[in-house]
Structure 1
Amino acid sequence: MNDRPVSVYRRPVPDDLPLAGPDGDPAPVRARLADAEPRTLLMVLTHLTRDVSHLDRFAAVCDPANAESGAEREADEIRDLLADVLTTSAPRETGPLPSELFRRMASAYVHEPVDEEFVPLLLDQCGFAKLDGAPAAADRGPGGDGFHVVVVGAGLSGICAGVKLGEAGYSYRIYDRNKDVGGTWLTNVYPGVGVDTPSHFYSYSFEVNPDWPEFYSKGAYVLDYLRQCADGYGVREHIVFETEVVSCAYDDASRRWAVTSRGPDGTEEVEWADAVITAIGVFQGAVRPDIPGLDDFAGTVAHTAEWDPSLDLSGKRVAIVGTGASAMQVGPAIVDDVAGLAVFQRTPSWVMPRRKDDLTVPEGARWAMRHVPYYGEWFRFLTYWFASDGNFVRVVVDPDWHMPDVSVSKESEAMRQWLLAYAREELADRPDLLEKAIPDYPPFGKRILRDSNWYRMLKRDHVDLITDPIARVTADAVVTADGRETAADVLILATGYQVLPMLGQIDVTGRGGTPLADVWGHDNPRAHLGTTVPGFPNLFVLAGPNSAPNHGAGVNILAESQIHYVVGCLDLLREREARALEPRQDVHDAYNEQVDKALEGRVWSHPSVRSYYRNSTGRVVVSCPWRLVDYWTMLRSPDPAEYTLD
């Protein structure tokens, strides 16, 4: 049994009420609620009172038509009523919401139907299940009986794996090549780095953080959150830092894995494990572009994935190569400091509108998350809903669509027009930039990026957007194919990360000494449910082939879903008194046939799209073709009939 804290961030519950003492003055609490989100306050009011009449009475606050100016009277009345509920000793309903009531509230909240199939996912991923007293994994009793697991990587997924393995009673050790936890949030420190998934969802469902300072927080805050989770759950004491796993070899006789690691002094050691979980993520190191003369550049060359925080850009002429996610964050972050900024673009990106200039979480909302029961969970649901499966319809190809070159369906075209309207509004006075900034592929074909003042940056007098191909780099300039030279003191490579070969940094061999590299080839990885591979017993790949939710949400839900499945597989081994589990080849093949067939009807396979989602033959190897609710449901528990156990 895990004796670690139930929670790192304490979550308010009805037993904490009344906030101002029995029959206290509601005025101070009412004042605190002034900056909180009205829709969310309505859900809290309904949740605490179970009075569903509130949903009809105050429906106007949930109507998007009133987002800017309407429903203020209703919002004020909700605050008054809730302040009374929070500050009096009147009886309050506690315990889980009935499923139908939750669905009715959820549908009112987002002003659209929430189908029954989403309810289990929402209760789990928005944190209600644990908060309302559902049995935790640790309540199942000790597991493992000496069964030992090695986890590779101590980022978001690896920490989550440690938490859940510990809860389930399994012995585990985590190896990470870095000096601390955090993975990409530890190593990526370039200016402006942060999440483009809403902060209140980009976190663990079992650790709803009330203290995010911004709705899209910077990387340092994400790293701090992960550190606190690793420390609070005792995961850190299971981690070996500055140590890289170089090989994992399955031993047929003992049905165990020999895991070879290399420490900071170069010494290699072998640890035997019953199972191996790889949690190294999709991105496995910086991609350095093959540009003639790049090594001859006399100034500073900095890749966003390998940033030196001491680099001073003040007054420098800076050239950025690339216009993807990291470029769109670093450019606006440095534009005020540099003397000149040249952006070299190969392919433009679709840019999601910036909803408002100030993305700071109001203090009243943060207070509500710390003190008002259910506020944080309901707000998490709100951020999740509009950044997840609602987008799925926009990636599904309509074979009869009449504009297949630029969009894939009516919904896709509506999305394109929305993004176009935003670009046109932002660049209304710069038609030259507008022409360069609009992609020629459908929305979601590549990752849609959140605007961090990108368009506004491009309009600055000392910024130049260059779309001619780079021909070469000289000692002090970047030369394009048309012969134009752009002088530079610093060259920033925002050129992305190595994705394939997947798990390429580890020499993995399975049954009979078969290398995983031979099974997958250089760039054609496949797995059952994106997680397990025939011939490689008790090997579990997190963020594996065709598991990424590229239509929305974040890696957090992927990690939790897959780890839940992995622990289920380990429990299945224990229940069957077996030592090894691997997917049947026919089951694996049939699943991947379904994946390929489904992907033919998704925007990522559009002929105009070239992205890291695809391999050298054009097959999409990263994206999951299903909705999040579908994939989450698939991973609820392993089907013994799909596996060989011995």
Structure 2
Amino acid sequence: MPGRSYIERAVECADTNALRMALYQATRDAEIAAITPERVFGPTTDAIVFSDHDVALIRAKAVDYLLTEPYEPALPIPSRDEVVELLEMAEARELGPDDLIMRHHIPAFEDMPFQAQWTGEKTIPEGYHVAIVGAGFAGVAMGVQLVQLGIPFTIYERRAEVGGVWSINTYPDVRVDTLSFTYEYAFEKKYPWTEYFGRQSDVREYIDHVARKYGVYEHIRFDADVQEARFDETTQCWTMTVRGEDSVAEVEANVVVAASGVFATPRELSVEGVSGFTGRIVHTAQWSEDVEYAGKKVAVIGNGSTGVQLLSKVAEKADSVVVYQRTPQWISPRTNYGVPIADELQWLIQNMPFYWNWNKYVAGLSTIDLRNVLMPDEEWIAGGGHISERNDMLREMLIAYISNQVDGRQDLIDKLVPDYPPMTRRPVVDNNWYASLTRNNVELVTTPIERMTDTAIVTTEGETRETDLVIAAVGFQTEKYIWPTQYYGLGGASLEDVWTAQGAQAHLGMTVPGFPNMFMLYGPNSQPVASGAGLPTWFEIWTRYIAECIVGMLEKGRKSMVIRRDAFDEYNEQLHEEAKKLIYLMPNSAMEKNYYVNEFGRLQMNAPWNGEQYYELCKSPDESHFDFTEAQ
């Protein structure tokens, strides 16, 4: 047990609200319960603010409690009513029934909060097998579900390691842009993240750790590229063509789960003359250790999350860097971005009962009401505002941040402030990008690129800039879900062809008519626009839904299931109508340059509901939405 001074440093590192909640849950201290923080109106959500006196009281009591060496396993898991009481305390407001459909699961007090269960006799026919395509966050989550249920499966991974996008992307300073405390599975408790925002290598190691710990790893076939999957209407099974290192084989599966996601196919750099360029061009998703940028004349094309993350590191060593910006982004700071988690806080997470749970919950509070920022306020607009009081407050905050970061240089400010509302495109986290633009060896160019010569980039104004290395931070073909595998359903219909009419659509982001026993993870319109839960938690929710579909078929002797066309159409029409209420589809939202919206003017990335509403839809499958084929 460390001494008092060490523990005092630990509680000073802790989130005050999470510390208060953990302390109260463990001790039921009336003095802690009497603390009433203030909810302060803010640009994305209300902040929970404590007085200095209350902060000191919480910390002092936490130190005294920790010195008693509490033993968490001896403390009871709270009932649902107790959790609701605690949630209202954490948020400093009353919560209604519609606020509590999903919220009470987020602190993850149960061992496996989103695990599917057998409801009757466990019956698995001989030879029954589930195929999962991809061993990233999604595929491993699906594997955990099936291990717990005892259902045979194989994960086919085209790379030599787990990780998905966290294996592919290794460019300089790549990391998550959401807090590590929310970017983790709910079933893996108290993982010792090294930084508040995990680096690529740390995230990949985390996925590897989970795969090994939960018995998924031995089910993975590496260097196994699933090139196509065809549904056989006679056998009601899928036949997959899998290319290995030196062979091609056909394998059969009763169910296929496509877990390759949306960020699997890099977007090509489409510039006249690109093939004749004699320098090096590297897409950020194809980065390798042999990419040399020290002392080079570097061009960074793109200013999305990737381009913003890498600029600072590249500019430190390059001779010069030219940043080519097509569309300005709203780029915002994050507290503790790039900061290691102190040893003292690591100790507290492991030893303070319930702190991990409440830290997870409090870390997500900034997004739990985020949908409000996405809703235009007509009365506010009529009074001269842009979108709403919150959104306009966010706009002013970000403009002030830009000005501060570029030392008030109006020439840069004029190029950097977008003409569309904040939050209409994916938020980008600043990694010293704005400040890097003020370096003597960095130039921001907003004139469009016209062509490339063998040694240079030429803009439409005729300016030529000699270039040794082009870093293409141009993103992914996000319209190509679950690529590069080709899927063929009933009648040999290709999923790619099915999606040509209005873009990629699915029921709950997981199923498509005409494709029996096929499920998707991180499919079209998957993640809700606001929920308080990180993406890995949603993978657990979606994989539970899929696992319950599989269990239901096995328990009831069914061979296959497929989403009904009427259920699919009704759901997607509701989704589109709901999306029209949000700023994504407003005329001034830069729709034509926003991968959230497809070429048909439909929202394609997010589910337009809040987390509570969307969770209600996908917490369990509704059999009336499916057609079934009985086993013979």
Query: TM-score with structure 2 length normalisation?
Result: 0.91
Check 1:311–1:550 CA distance in 2 against 1; reply closer, same or farther (3 A cut): farther
Amino acid at match of 1:39: N
**481, 487, 498: which one pairs with 1:502?**
481
The AA in structure 2 aligned to 1:626 is W
Q: 1:67/1:551 Cα in 2 relative to 1: closer, same or farther (>3 Å)? A: closer
Match of 1:261 in 2: 242
Name the aligned partner's letter for residue 206 of structure 2. Answer: Y
**Equivalent of 1:342 in 314, 317, 322:** 322
* Identity percentage of aligned residues: 30
Indicate whether 1:632 and 2:632 are aligned.
no
In 1: Cα distance, 2:274 partner to 2:401 partner:
36
Q: 1:323 to 1:424 in 2, by over 3 A?
A: same
Matched with 2:405 is: 426
SS in 2 for 1:373: coil
Is residue 520 from structure 1 mapped to residue 502 from structure 2 by the alignment? no
- The verdict on how the C-alpha distance between 1:27 and 1:365 changes in structure 2, with shifts beyond 3 A counting, is closer
The separation in 1 between residues aligned to 2:559 and 2:519, in whole angstroms, is 15
One-letter amino acid matched to 2:23:
L
Match of 1:443 among 416, 422, 429: 422
State the match for 1:283 in structure 2: 263
**1:452 matched residue in structure 2:** 431
Residue 51 in structure 1 maps to residue 51 in structure 2: no
User: How far is 1:256 from its partner?
Assistant: 1.2
User: Relative to structure 1, is the Cα distance of residues 61 and 306 closer, same or farther in structure 2, using a 3 angstrom cutoff?
Assistant: same
Deviation track 1:35-81 (CA, whole Å, cap 9, x = no partner) reads 33332221111011133541323x45987999999744433432332
Counterpart pick for 1:198 among 156, 167, 179: 179
The one-character-per-residue Cα deviations of 1:102-138 (angstroms, maximum 9, x if unpaired) are 334333334455544444533433321228xx79646
Provide the C-alpha distance between the structure 2 equivalents of 1:211 and 1:62, rounded to a whole number of angstroms.
31
Alpha-carbon distance change, 249 to 310 in structure 1, aligned in 2, over 3 angstroms: same
Partner of 2:80: 99
Distance change (3 Å), C-alpha of 1:526 and 1:405 = farther
CA distance in 2, matches of 1:180, 1:129: 30
Rounded Cα–Cα distance in structure 2 between residues aligned with 1:113 and 1:303: 49
AA matched with 1:519: V
Question: Residues 356, 125 of structure 1: CA spacing in aligned structure 2 closer, same or farther, 3 A cutoff?
Answer: closer
1:148 aligns to 2:129 (yes or no): yes
Q: CA deviation at 1:518?
A: 2.7
| Cα distance in 2 between the residues matched to 1:481 and 1:551 | 40
CA contact (8 A) 1:55 1:105 kept: no
Which aligned segments of 4 or more residues in structure 1 are displaced greater than 6 angstroms?
Answer: 61-70, 89-93, 138-141, 403-406
**Structure 2 portions without partners, runs of 5+:** none
Matched, 1:377 2:357: yes
- Matched with 1:159 is 140
Q: How big is each residue's C-alpha offset from its partner over 1:292-321, in whole Å with a ceiling of 9 and x where there is no partner?
A: 111222222111110012222111111100
Q: Which of 282, 287, 296 does residue 316 from structure 1 map onto?
A: 296
Q: Give distance in 2, aligned partners of 1:31 and 1:353.
A: 25
Deviates more, 1:421-430 or 1:325-334: 421-430
Q: Point out the more displaced range, 583-592 or 72-81.
A: 72-81
The CA deviation at 1:544 is 1.2
Give the letter aligned to residue 623 of structure 1. Answer: N
Q: Post-superposition shift, 1:330?
A: 0.7
Instruction: Name the structure 1 match of 2:460.
Output: 481
User: How many Å apart are 1:459 and its aligned residue?
Assistant: 1.3
Q: Residue 3 of structure 1 corresponds to which residue in structure 2?
A: none
Greater shift, 150-159 or 600-609, is seen at 600-609
What residue identity is the alignment partner of 2:606? S
Once the 2 structures are TM-superposed, how far is the Cα of residue 428 of structure 1 from its aligned partner?
4.2
**Pairs aligned (count):** 619
Structure 1 residue 622 corresponds to structure 2 residue 605: yes
The alpha-carbon deviation at position 495 of structure 1 amounts to 0.4
Q: Look up the SS of the partner of 1:402 in the other structure.
A: helix
Deviation at 1:435, TM superposition (A): 0.7
Q: Secondary structure at the residue paired with 1:230? A: helix
Q: 2:343 aligns with which of 363, 385, 388?
A: 363
Aligned to 1:10: none
- Counting only pairs closer than 5 Å after superposition, residues 203-602 of structure 1 correspond to structure 2 as 203-265=184-246, 267-355=247-335, 359-386=339-366, 388-399=367-378, 402=381, 407-521=386-500, 524-550=503-529, 554-602=534-582
Query: 1:84 offset after TM fit, Å?
Result: 3.3
- Alpha carbons of structure 1 residues 121 and 130: separation in structure 2 relative to 1, 3 Å: farther
Seen in structure 2, the aligned counterparts of structure 1 residues 287 and 218 have a Cα distance that, compared at 3 Å, is same
Instruction: Work out whether residues 130 and 136 of structure 1, in 8 Å CA contact, stay in contact via their aligned partners in 2.
Output: no
One-letter code of the match for 2:412?
A: L
CA shift for structure 1 position 402: 2.4
Give the deviation of 1:268 after TM superposition.
1.9
Distance 2:397 2:492 in 1: 53
User: Which secondary structure state, in structure 2, belongs to the residue aligned with residue 336 of structure 1?
Assistant: helix
Cα 1:522/1:221, change in 2 over 3 Å: farther
Within 1, Cα distance between the matches of 2:411 and 2:556? 66
Paired residues of 2:260 and 2:483 also in contact (CA < 8 A): no
Amino acid at match of 2:602: R
Q: Which has the higher contact order (CA 8 A, sep 6+)?
A: 2
Quick check: 1:447–1:550 contact (8 Å CA) kept in 2? Answer: no
Q: What residue identity is the alignment partner of 2:497? A: D
User: Residue 550 of structure 1 contacts residue 624 of structure 1 at CA under 8 Å; is this kept in 2?
Assistant: yes
Distance 1:32 1:527, change over 3 A: closer
Q: Distance in 1 between matches of 2:622 and 2:332?
A: 39
Gaps of 5+ in 1: 1-18
Residue aligning to 2:18: 40
Deviations 1:202-225 (A, max 9, x none): 011111344212211211110111
CA RMSD of aligned residues (A): 2.8
- Counterpart of 2:591 (choices 609, 614, 638) is 609
Return the alpha-carbon distance in structure 2 between the equivalents of residues 164 and 28 of structure 1: 40
Q: Which amino acid aligns with 1:342?
A: V
1:184/1:253 Cα in 2 relative to 1: closer, same or farther (>3 Å)?
same
Distance 1:527 1:356, change over 3 A: closer
Contact 1:210 1:376 in 2 (8 A): no
Bigger mean CA offset, 194-203 vs 64-73: 64-73
Q: Conserved in 1, the CA contact under 8 Å of 2:157 and 2:222?
A: yes
**Structure 1 residues 643 and 356: alpha-carbon distance in aligned structure 2, compared to 1, 3 A threshold:** closer
TM-score (norm 1): 0.89
Question: Could you tell me whether the CA contact under 8 Å between 1:613 and 1:621 is conserved in 2?
Answer: yes
More moved, 573-582 vs 351-360:
351-360
Between the aligned partners of 1:322 and 1:554, the Cα distance in structure 2 is 26
CA shift for structure 1 position 472: 1.0
CA–CA distance in 2 between the matches of 1:94 and 1:356? 32
CA distance in structure 2 between the partners assigned to 1:401 and 1:114 by the alignment: 26
Bigger shift: residues 474-483 or 81-90: 81-90
Task: Give 1:6's aligned residue.
Answer: none
Q: What one-letter code is carried by the residue in structure 1 that aligns with 2:276?
A: D
Give the Cα separation in 2 of the matches to 1:562 and 1:581. 17
Counterpart amino acid of residue 174 in structure 1: I
Say whether 1:130 aligns with 2:111: yes
